[in-house]
Amino acid sequence: MKEDLLALAKRGAPEARERLIQDYTPFILATAAKVSGRFIRLGEDDEVSIGLLAFNEAIDAYNERRGNSFLKFSELVIKRRLLDFYRHEKRRQKEIPLTVLAAASNADEISESQLIEQLQESFAPAREEELERREEILAFSRCLSKYGIGLSDVAASCPRHRDARRRAIEVARKVAARPDWLAALRKRGSLPLSEIAAEIGVSRKTLERQRKYILAVLLVLSGDFNYLREYFA
């Protein structure tokens, strides 16, 4: 980080602020791409302007005495502002629940309770449904824990690309339609990956890599999670 530029920008030097934003535009785009799960195009996507404004906000709000690096701090500000944007964009709501975990979390920075809170907030629920939705998220977290999985694990195994996520969700749907595979999961606490790979036509290596994400979606589809299930309909 160019500490001198940051210090000048915080003191009100517009040239320093402009240079800082210009130098770190690739970082801003990369952060926005992580949150959205897709490639972000400068001059085309709303996420660009939101990311730039958030980075500018981070310049003013950053306090080096709190110990975090400026880039880590600005990354969190960008992610939070984008999550706010998605919560208010109903056309994007279907992309939020589990995929947002991968984009908005970092296991080294954010605790399991914070991940739960982010996922709860991502629903942008009507006031009368808020309590039910929040309780469902907590129940989902408890269900995951029975299989030794946390929301941070789901985040780490969530496919970054939209097509890959869709394929993983389709695998979960096919498993959910097989009572024998569900029975094996409940009995042994794990999925019969070799059998699934052979019958569905997906490589075992891919299933292993996405196992926790697939299992999370499967638990949503096969469990009593009516609100979460809306996002995989």
CB 57 within 8 A of CB 37: no
Q: Which residue has the higher pLDDT, 145 or 155?
A: 145
With a pLDDT cut of 70, the percent of the chain lying above it is 78
pLDDT of residue 204: 92
Average pLDDT on 109-125 reads 57
pLDDT, one tens digit per residue, over 43-78 is 677 888 888 999 988 888 888 777 678 888 898 889
pLDDT of residue 124: 46
Quick one: CA torsion of 61, 66, 71, 74, rounded to 10 degrees? -30
With a pLDDT cut of 90, the percent of the chain lying above it is 14
pLDDT of residue 19: 86
Average pLDDT on 146-168 reads 83
pLDDT of residue 126: 45
pLDDT of residue 218: 92
pLDDT of residue 1: 45
CB 159 within 8 A of CB 210: yes
125's torsion region: left (phi>0), alpha (psi -120 to 50) or beta? Answer: beta
Q: Is residue 127 very low, low, confident or very high in pLDDT (cuts 50, 70, 90)? A: very low
Question: What are residue 24's phi and psi, to 5 degrees?
Answer: -105, 15
Average pLDDT on 77-85 reads 85
Please give the helix or strand (H or E) that residue 128 lies within, else none.
none
Q: Which residue has the higher pLDDT, 167 or 90?
A: 167
Mean pLDDT score across all residues of the chain:
79
* Structure token digits, residue 173: 């749907």
CA gap 86, 79 in Å, rounded? 11
In this predicted structure, the answer to whether residue 15 has a pLDDT above a threshold of 80 is yes
Residue 78 CB contacts under 8 Å (≥ 6 apart), including other chains: 28, 31, 32, 35, 50, 51, 54, 55, 58
Q: Which of 64-73, 144-153, 176-185 has the highest mean pLDDT?
A: 176-185
CA distances from 212 to 29, 34, 65, 97, 105 (A): 28, 19, 38, 15, 16
CA gap 2, 6 in Å, rounded? 6
Q: Is residue 196 very low, low, confident or very high in pLDDT (cuts 50, 70, 90)? A: very high
Structural domains of the chain ordered from first start: 3-88 (1.10.1740.10), 127-232 (no CATH)
Q: Is residue 107 very low, low, confident or very high in pLDDT (cuts 50, 70, 90)? A: very low
Look at the block and give the residue holding tokens 């024998």.
Answer: 180
pLDDT of residue 125: 44
pTM: 0.50
* Structure token digits, residue 40: 């972000």
The DSSP symbol for 39 reads -
